[in-house]
Amino acid sequence: MQHRYFAAANSAEGFKNYYPEVFSRADFVYIIKGGPGTGKSSLMRRFAARAEKQGALCEYYFCSSDPSSLDGVLAFGEKGAIGILDGTSPHVSEPKFPGAREQIINLGECWDVSLLRKQKNEIMALSERKGAEYKSAYSYLRSVGNLRAVSEGFLSEAIEYDKLRGAVGRLIRELSPGRASITPAILDSVSMGGRVRLPTFEDNAQKLYIISDFHGLGEIFLTELLEQLSRRDVSLRVSFDPVSSQRVDGIFLEGERVAFVSLADAQERYESERLRSDSREVVLINSKRFVDPERLRDIRSELRYTDRLAASSLDGALHALSKAKIYHFLLEDIYGKAMDWSKFETICAELCEKI
């Protein structure tokens, strides 16, 4: 199985950080410190390649703002669970038990401070511009979150909750009572490069349920599913919506390898998943069946209007993040040119020897 996730999100609440929870499963963690463009992601990729070569199972956690970049790796091997992660802003991580459970890797040892000082004003200006764009993006995302809450308020008048809860209960009735183990495993991101979704749950599932997302009802269905599964003896990976973190957009039952995902293009994905594989069962759940059609007619125009406003606000957030990307890569260029990459190679080699 492939394990590719996010462990953070740009959300209506600001930056949402799941790294402490995800990496609490590690026996030992290497925390990388360094500026943009100093090789943090490259170091993690080498760490993962070495660990996999030695037979470890690796989980990859990508940057929610720049999904082409790694922000963390968990390797499960003979020496236990070893983690490595970017410990800089916005997901700052500091050792709680230095040397005993965590160790800092300081890539600042590799850069030429005199070169960076000469460009101090430019670095500060670019950082301020990037920060301003993120501030704008989060303002737009707060608007998206508020509008979704308005839409859910309208929709709640039409949802047949007893019917929805009953359907969820029937899906999991064979699972034993208990207390679920839940690990965040975020699939979707609102990033500097647009919306990016990782199909990890679908790729790993032996049985796949695709729930149509009718004005957010697919996520309401999955949130109820998580509520009921939390009282079962199962191990779960849960993907929370990147904008509205109280909502669930994916659940994976690890022991059973059963996945539930909510998708806007559910029908098309259902057809493509059935064609792609004949070795597993794919089930489509139409969430609209949990809505009273007469009540829906009364609120349909309000739902459409609110959804349009939310989509427009989301576009605003993505535009601001795309502008932040420009400043981010200019900063990477400055720091990259100040690096002594031979020292970086030495640090990489020393770390890989410890795996």
Domain ranges of the chain: 4-111+340-353, 159-291
- Provide the pLDDT confidence category of residue 250 given band limits of 50, 70 and 90: very high
Rounded Cα distance between 195 and 5, Å, is 14
* Residues, the chain: 355
CA dihedral 10, 11, 16, 22 (to 10 degrees): -80
3-state secondary structure 136-165: HHHHHHHHHHHHHHHHHHHHHCCECHHHHH
Rounded Cα distance between 337 and 121, Å, is 16
pLDDT at 259: 97
197, containing H or E segment: strand 194-197
Considering only CA atoms, which of 220, 351, 252 is closest in space to residue 5? 252
- Provide the pLDDT confidence category of residue 277 given band limits of 50, 70 and 90: low
pTM for the structure as a whole: 0.95
Say whether pLDDT at 14 is over 70. yes
Share of the chain above pLDDT 90, in %: 92
**Half-sphere exposure of 23 toward its Cβ, with a 13 Å CA cutoff?**
31
Q: Is 258 helix (H, G, I), strand (E, B) or coil?
A: strand
Mean pLDDT across the chain: 95
Rounded Cα distance between 259 and 160, Å, is 24
Say whether pLDDT at 275 is over 90. no
Strands 14-17 and 28-33: unpaired
pLDDT at 116: 97
Say whether pLDDT at 148 is over 70. yes
Q: What mean pLDDT is predicted for residues 275-279?
A: 73
What tokens were used for 102?
């965590």
Rounded Cα distance between 221 and 225, Å, is 6
Considering only CA atoms, which of 234, 241, 225 is closest in space to residue 287? 225
- Tell me phi and psi for residue 112, to 5 degrees: -90, 105
What tokens were used for 138?
């989060």
Say whether pLDDT at 276 is over 80. no
Rounded Cα distance between 187 and 204, Å, is 13
Q: What mean pLDDT is predicted for residues 126-133?
A: 98
Do the beta carbons of residue 283 and residue 210 sit within 8 Å? yes
